[in-house]
């Protein structure tokens, strides 16, 4: 399934978007976080992790954040654009004084806003004043969500002040035409609204100790009120689906069976895509199973600072998702593919779960802090996931032999793959990656790829991964430490002293690439066969389980479905190519929400009516849903 | 201040044209110089310029240099004095540059299959506002006072509807008129309830969160506005113009489309049709920007 539970994440991301620079006549682009604002948000995020990754905090200020369009980090940026020195902040980082880091970083950002506001007010032409206002406002992003959550009235006052401030800068016009002068008095009054609030809340000498660091205003913290700031990910995070999108191969679908005729599978498909089954912060951020496992495969771009050491990797038992499950070990793993899941047990990179059901419950309850799933939910999830098949590969027979379509180098490599090596205890590659059992042996082996956790530890054994489909799941090994299949071959050759020649290594690599290949690894989209059409098809399929659940009056599972699918349908409409049809999709989402509202009110007649209307309207707009 | 083309300015323009005509070949001997106007992070733009000028140089077999100007006026000045041969520009600045220095349109940007777009008046769906007249006495945020789709064209819809006498009378109709600084800021102000409506590009709602997008709608839409344009200084050698234009049109080919992201991210380019900018010229006159 395509990932549809990113609504909250996209919301968090988009709410941070600020168009920078002059108005574009065409669709505008989002502005990146300014370096110091990004470093501040990263600092808050990282400093809430335990153990606190101090090195990463230092890096947050010294280097540009991942994906930044700015070539330099916050310190260099400040050096070139500000008179405010970072020494107190750097000193606090060196001392590893969490509270001092918070105080110094917060004051630094507040001072930077004031510095830009000074520049705006003193600018002698509108263009420079507007640039300074833009910069100040982009820096204000660092505090905006905290103020909005804690002090909506102030948030509104400040929002209007930004409007007033920008409007009163005047305009340089175009080539001198249409120029209007600035209104200094109005600018200064608007600026005072902003600066006054900063002075009271972000420029204070002594901040109260904070258990959780956030951008909450100090006066609100001192009031003792409990304020929940919606969770957000820091700059540099990436939870969007990988592009190109992996192709999903479902066993029933390949046999021509319609998912709408398999309500348990369809419900499991929905759950796999639902953030509702997890707890916070995953739920509010829109994290679902499919966030990491795009279309049953991997998400090579997923990255969360502090939880990922590289794209496509995540530490799910760290401090972020479920503190009670925090193992206090910095051990992110490369996201494994779930293709062929019913053949790949035991589960977990180290094969710690024999049961997929136990593994799945552990993911929901422990890794992501969700409520205990009902037996029906686990049944549904398993029913769906057990349909994941490997990608068809015409260069490989079902029992793992190369076909004539395989290149010659791969044919030569196959012989090497099956050759026993003394250095491997007279075993071959094929001893563990058994060709006629999907290139795995369902056992865990310590091949020396894991650093010893302590003297005498026997903790390096990892579950043998399948080689099928691996041409598209780089990097490799449990920690993603090897970037290519060629690197994997080199690692074995060197660490096990296999003595392969360069030609043999190339042949063995060709074999792995052939075994790991697929006829159609990715979804193919075009002008009308868009990712949204795929999402629309899947979401309406999910909804089809109401045909089963409504007659059963199963309110709990109906509401889980309607809450998930209505929100996803509405959020996904923002990705439509056919913008003219968006209102119809919004209306359809509302229709499904009406089903949920009726069920909450125990009005089953109304629920049935809304569901009937949904089906009719979905059919009517299907052709335009792209 | 409007550009008033009197006899003296016309003479000055003629002089500028002569100067320009005298320099192009010398300029091409060294490099074709492209002026870019920052729309976002200027630092990223520098990287983009390096990438696209390198590709263009290999395509047209002439050295290509790019530089960033502070604004449209500086770009036009660069075209006038021969420091730039070609510039990327909005429709309104183009028609003013055309009038002032005789700038020549070469290419128009294409978005979603059209070299044009519209401006819209957006409101929150739950606002109860269904028509422009409902905005009497209410607050509105526009993007910028010199933005085609973010002010001039949306405001003209109120004039067309008979609600506003002319461009200078907006304050009498609305409660407050704000210039938010950009599409996204104007739309965000509307979506957050700071103002009742926003005037912005037809695509500006895509800058809101997916949840916010579902909560907003639009109640009026302007006629098509020609999209951004790539212009040349008057007197630029015709062959150089052709080679440059043809190379840019190669960006429409699938193998080159990834390079469009270095150029403000359009979906492609078409040859510019000067007549298509007639509406912009009329609009500029209506707002007193052009005589």
Q: How confident is the model at residue A69 (pLDDT cuts 50, 70, 90)?
A: confident
pTM of the model: 0.90
Q: How far is A556 from chain B (nearest CA, A)?
A: 24
- Tallying the residues shown for chain A, one arrives at 626
Helices A555-572 and A531-543 cross at an angle (nearest 10°) of 160
Rounded (5°) CA angle A235-A239-A241: 140
Whether pLDDT at B39 is above 80: no
Q: How confident is the model at residue B38 (pLDDT cuts 50, 70, 90)?
A: confident
- Render pLDDT for B46-66 as a digit per residue (tens, 0 to 9): 778 889 999 999 999 999 999
Distance CA A363, CA A372 (A): 11
Q: Would you place residue B176 in the very low, low, confident or very high pLDDT band (cuts 50, 70, 90)? A: very high
pLDDT score for B48: 85
Q: Is the pLDDT of residue B8 over 80?
A: no
Sheet bearing B140-142, strands edge to edge: B177-179, B140-142, B197-201, B119-124, B216-221
Contacts of A130 in chain B (CB under 8 A): 181
Give the HSE-up count for residue B21: Cα atoms under 13 Å, Cβ half-sphere. 8
pLDDT in tens, B215-227: 999 999 999 999 9
B74 confidence band (pLDDT: 50, 70, 90):
confident
Query: Among A5, A76, A175, which would you mutate to test the B interface (most chain B Cβ atoms within 10 Å of its Cβ)?
Result: A175
CA dist A106 and A198 (Å) reads 10
In this prediction, residue B52 carries a pLDDT of: 93
Q: What is the pLDDT confidence band of residue B24, given thresholds at 50, 70 and 90?
A: very low
Give domain limits for chain B. Answer: 7-112+227-286, 119-223
For position A21, what pLDDT does the model report?
36
pLDDT of residue B14 exceeding 60, the answer is no
Determine the residue among A20, A22, A35, A161 to mutate to test chain B binding: the one whose Cβ has the most chain B Cβ atoms within 10 Å: A22
> Between chains, do A175 and B149 touch, taking CB under 8 Å as contact?
no
List the single range of A9-18, A98-107, A538-547, B273-282 with lowest mean pLDDT.
A9-18
The DSSP secondary-structure symbol of A261 reads: G
Place of tokens 């495969």: A297
pLDDT at B73 over 90: no
Contact assessment for residue A227 and residue A220, using Cβ atoms and an 8 Å cutoff = yes
DSSP E strand boundaries for A533-626: none
Contact A589 B145 (CB under 8 A): no
Residue A27 has pLDDT above 60, yes or no: no
Residue B162 buriedness (CB in 10 A; 0-12 / 13-18 / 19+): exposed
Whether A251-385 shares its CATH topology with A408-515 is answered: yes
Residue A350, pLDDT > 50, answer yes
Q: What is the mean pLDDT of residues A478-500?
A: 98
Q: Which of A27, A70, A160 sits opposite B194 (nearest CB)?
A: A160
Using a CB-CB cut-off of 8 Å, the residues of chain A touching B203 are: 26-28
Q: What is the mean pLDDT of residues B65-83?
A: 90
The reported pLDDT for the residue numbered A31 is 61
CB contact under 8 A, A175 and B217: no
- Tell me the fold of A251-385: Cytochrome Bc1 Complex; Chain D, domain 2 (1.10.760)
Which pLDDT score, from 0 to 100, does residue B42 have? 64
What pLDDT digit, counting tens, does each position of B84-139 carry? Answer: 999 999 999 999 999 999 999 999 999 989 999 999 999 999 999 999 999 999 99
For B1, which of A19, A32, A179 is closest by C-beta distance? A179
Query: What's the pLDDT score for residue A156?
Result: 98
The reply to whether residue A589 touches residue B2, judged by beta carbons under 8 angstroms, is no
Most A CBs within 10 A among B2, B145, B216, hence the mutation to make, goes to: B145
pLDDT at A481 exceeding the cut of 80 = yes
- In this complex, which of B209, B214, B287 lies closest to A573 when CB atoms are compared? B214
Rounded to 5 degrees, φ, ψ at A203 are -115, 25
Classify residue A343 by burial, with Cβ atoms within 10 Å: 0-12, 13-18, 19+.
middle
Q: pLDDT tier at A177 (50, 70, 90 boundaries)?
A: confident
Which sign, positive or negative, has the C-alpha torsion A183, A184, A187, A188?
negative
**How do residues A366-424 score in pLDDT, each as one tens digit?**
999 999 999 999 999 999 999 999 999 999 999 999 999 999 999 999 999 999 999 99
Question: What is the chain B residue with the closest CA to A570?
Answer: B214
pLDDT tier at B29, thresholds 50, 70, 90: low
Q: Are A371 and A285 in contact (CB under 8 A)?
A: no
Q: Which residue has the higher pLDDT, B288 or B250?
A: B250
What is the model's pLDDT at position B16?
Answer: 28
Q: Is the dihedral of CA B55, B58, B60, B61 positive or negative?
A: positive
Q: Which residue has the tokens 């990932």?
A: A3
Gap between the Cα atoms of A87 and A96, Å rounded: 14
With CB atoms and an 8 Å threshold, state whether B181 touches A137.
yes
CATH code of domain B7-112+227-286: 3.40.190.10
Place of tokens 């929150």: B124
- Helices and strands, number each (H, E), in chain A: 25, 4
Task: Give A1's pLDDT tier (boundaries 50, 70, 90).
Answer: very low
Q: Average pLDDT for residues A466-488, to the nearest whole number?
A: 98
Q: Considering only CB atoms, which chain A residues are within 8 Å of B206?
A: 27, 574
Rounded to whole angstroms, the Cα distance separating A315 from A414 reads: 35
What strand order describes the sheet that includes B229-232? B64-68, B32-36, B86-89, B229-232, B104-110, B268-271
Tell me which chain B residues have a C-beta less than 8 angstroms from the C-beta of A134: 181-182
Instruction: Indicate if B119-223 has the same CATH topology as B7-112+227-286.
Output: yes
Kindly tell me if the per-residue pLDDT of B18 is higher than 50: no
Which residues are CB-contacts of A257 (< 8 A; sequence separation ≥ 6)?
none
Whether residue A563 has pLDDT greater than 90: yes
* pLDDT more than 70, % of chain B: 88
- With bands split at pLDDT 50, 70 and 90, how would you rate the model's confidence at A25? very low
How many Å apart are CA A506 and CA B84, to the nearest integer? 52
Q: Where does the pLDDT of residue B12 fall: very low under 50, low under 70, confident under 90, or very high at 90 and above?
A: very low
Q: Percentage of chain B surpassing pLDDT 90?
A: 74
| Of A18, A521, A552, A558, the residue nearest A245 (C-alpha) | A521
Give pLDDT, residue A2.
46
Q: How much is the ipTM here? A: 0.90
Please state the domain extents for chain A: 17-223, 251-385, 408-515, 531-624
Contact (CB, 8 A) for B144 and B182: yes
* Set of chain A residues whose Cβ sits within 8 Å of the Cβ of B96: 174-175, 177
- Write out pLDDT tens, residues B177-207: 999 999 999 999 999 999 999 999 999 999 9
pLDDT of residue B6: 31
Q: Topology of domain A408-515, per CATH?
A: Cytochrome Bc1 Complex; Chain D, domain 2 (1.10.760)
Judge whether residue A514 has pLDDT over 60: yes
Interchain CB distance below 8 Å, A31 and B41: yes
Contact A66, A312 (CB under 8 A): no
Q: How confident is the model at residue B282 (pLDDT cuts 50, 70, 90)?
A: very high
CATH architecture observed for domain B119-223: 3-Layer(aba) Sandwich (3.40)
Structural contact between residues A50 and A325, judged by C-beta atoms closer than 8 angstroms: no
* A98-122 helix and A126-150 helix, angle to the nearest 10 degrees: 140
| pLDDT given at position A5 | 43
The percentage of residues in chain A with a pLDDT greater than 70, rounded to a whole number, is: 95
- Per CB-CB distance under 8 Å, the chain B contacts of A10 are 209-210
Spatial separation of the C-alpha atoms in residues A247 and A393, rounded to whole Å = 13
The nearest alpha carbon in chain A to B176 belongs to: A164
Is beta strand B32-36 parallel, antiparallel or unpaired with respect to B64-68? parallel
B181 neighbourhood in chain A, CB within 8 Å:
19, 130, 133-134, 137, 166
DSSP string, A220-273: HHHHT----PPP-PPTT-B-SPPSSPBPP-BHHHHTT--GGG-HHHHHHHHHHT
Average pLDDT, chain B: 87
Q: How confident is the model at residue A19 (pLDDT cuts 50, 70, 90)?
A: very low
Chain B residues with CB-CB distance to A582 below 8 A: 213
> Residue A4 has what pLDDT?
43
Q: Among the residues of A33-73, which ranges form H helices?
A: 35-47, 54-62
d(CA B265, CA B268) in angstroms, rounded, equals 8
| Averaged confidence pLDDT in chain A | 94
């Amino acid at each position: 399934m395509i990932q549809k539970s990113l609504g909250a994440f996209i919301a968090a991301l988009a709410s941070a978007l600020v168009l920078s620079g002059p108005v574009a006549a065409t669709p505008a682009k989002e502005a990146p976080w300014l370096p110091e604002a990004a470093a501040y948000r990263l600092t808050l995020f990282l400093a809430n992790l335990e153990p606190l990754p101090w090195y990463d905090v230092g890096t947050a200020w010294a280097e540009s954040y991942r994906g930044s369009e700015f070539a330099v980090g916050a310190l260099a940026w400040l050096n070139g654009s500000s008179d405010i020195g970072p020494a107190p902040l750097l000193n606090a980082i060196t001392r590893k004084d969490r509270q001092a880091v918070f105080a110094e970083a917060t004051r630094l950002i507040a001072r930077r806003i004031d510095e830009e506001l000074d520049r705006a007010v003193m600018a002698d032409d509108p263009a420079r004043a507007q640039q300074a206002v833009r910069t100040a406002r982009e820096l204000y992003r660092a505090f905006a969500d905290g103020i909005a959550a804690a002090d909506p009235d102030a948030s509104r006052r400040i929002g209007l002040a930004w409007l007033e401030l920008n409007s009163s800068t005047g305009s340089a016009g175009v080539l001198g035409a249409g120029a209007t002068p600035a209104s200094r008095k109005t600018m200064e009054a608007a600026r005072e609204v902003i600066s006054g609030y900063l002075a009271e809340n972000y420029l204070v000498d002594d901040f109260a100790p904070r258990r959780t660091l956030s951008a909450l205003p100090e006066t609100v913290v001192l009031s003792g009120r409990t304020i929940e700031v919606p969770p957000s990910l820091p700059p540099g995070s990436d939870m969007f689906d990988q592009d190109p999108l992996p192709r999903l191969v479902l066993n029933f679908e390949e046999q021509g069976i319609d998912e709408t005729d398999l309500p348990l599978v369809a419900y499991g498909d929905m759950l796999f895509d639902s953030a509702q089954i997890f707890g916070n912060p995953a739920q509010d951020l829109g994290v679902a199973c499919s966030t990491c496992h795009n279309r049953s495969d991997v998400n090579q771009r997923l990255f969360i600072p502090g939880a990922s050491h590289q794209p496509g990797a995540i530490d799910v038992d760290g401090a972020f998702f479920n503190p009670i499950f925090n193992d206090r070990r910095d051990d992110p793993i490369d996201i494994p593919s779930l293709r062929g899941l019913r053949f790949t047990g035991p589960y977990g990179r180290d094969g710690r779960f024999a049961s997929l059901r136990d593994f799945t419950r552990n993911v929901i309850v422990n890794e992501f802090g969700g409520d205990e799933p009902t037996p029906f939910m686990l049944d549904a999830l398993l029913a769906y996931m057990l349909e994941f098949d490997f990608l068809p590969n015409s260069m490989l027979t079902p029992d793992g032999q190369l076909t004539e379509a395989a290149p010659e180098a791969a044919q030569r490599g196959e012989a090497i793959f099956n050759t026993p090596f003394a250095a491997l205890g007279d075993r071959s590659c094929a001893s563990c990656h058994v060709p006629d059992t999907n290139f795995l042996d369902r056992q865990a082996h310590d091949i020396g790829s894991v650093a010893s956790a302590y003297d005498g530890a026997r903790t390096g054994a990892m579950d043998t991964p399948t080689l099928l489909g691996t041409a598209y799941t780089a990097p490799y090994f449990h920690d993603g430490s090897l970037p290519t299949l060629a690197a994997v071959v080199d690692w074995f050759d060197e660490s096990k002293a296999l003595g392969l020649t360069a030609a043999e290594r190339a042949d063995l690599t060709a074999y792995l690439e052939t075994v790991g290949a697929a006829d159609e690894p990715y979804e193919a989209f075009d002008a009308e066969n868009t990712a949204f059409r795929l999402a629309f098809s899947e979401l309406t399929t999910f909804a089809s389980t109401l045909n089963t659940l409504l007659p059963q009056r199963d309110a709990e599972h109906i509401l889980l479905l309607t809450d998930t699918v209505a929100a996803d349908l509405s959020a996904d409409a923002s990705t439509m190519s056919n913008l003219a049809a968006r209102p119809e999709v919004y209306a359809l989402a509302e229709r499904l929400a009406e089903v949920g509202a009726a069920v909450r009110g125990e009005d089953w007649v109304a629920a049935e009516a809304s569901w009937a209307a949904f089906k009719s309207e979905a059919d009517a707009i299907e052709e335009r849903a792209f | 201040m409007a550009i008033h083309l009197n006899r003296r300015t016309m003479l000055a323009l003629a002089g500028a044209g002569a100067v320009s005509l005298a320099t192009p070949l010398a300029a091409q001997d060294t490099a074709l110089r492209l002026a870019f106007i920052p729309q976002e992070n200027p630092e990223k733009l520098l990287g983009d310029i390096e990438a696209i000028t390198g590709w263009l140089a290999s395509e047209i077999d002439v050295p290509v240099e790019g530089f960033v100007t502070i604004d449209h006026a500086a770009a036009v000045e660069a075209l006038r004095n021969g420091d730039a041969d070609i510039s990327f520009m909005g429709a309104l600045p183009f028609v003013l540059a055309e009038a002032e220095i005789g700038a020549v349109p070469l290419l128009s940007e294409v978005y979603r299959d059209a070299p044009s777009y519209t401006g819209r008046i957006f409101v929150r769906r739950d606002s109860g506002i269904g028509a422009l007249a409902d905005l009497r006495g209410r607050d509105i945020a526009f993007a910028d006072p010199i933005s085609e789709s973010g002010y001039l064209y949306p405001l003209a819809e109120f004039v067309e509807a008979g609600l506003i006498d002319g461009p200078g009378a907006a304050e009498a109709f609305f409660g407050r008129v704000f210039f938010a600084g950009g599409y996204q800021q104007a739309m965000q102000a509307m979506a957050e309830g700071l103002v009742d409506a926003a005037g912005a590009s037809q695509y500006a709602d895509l800058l809101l969160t997916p949840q916010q997008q579902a909560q907003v709608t639009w109640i009026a839409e302007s006629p098509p506005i020609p999209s951004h344009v790539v212009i040349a200084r008057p007197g630029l050698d015709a062959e150089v113009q052709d080679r440059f234009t043809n190379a840019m049109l190669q960006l429409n080919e699938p193998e080159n489309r990834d390079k469009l992201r270095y150029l403000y991210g359009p979906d492609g380019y078409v040859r510019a049709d000067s007549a298509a900018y007639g509406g912009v010229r009329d609009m500029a006159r209506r707002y007193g920007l052009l005589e």
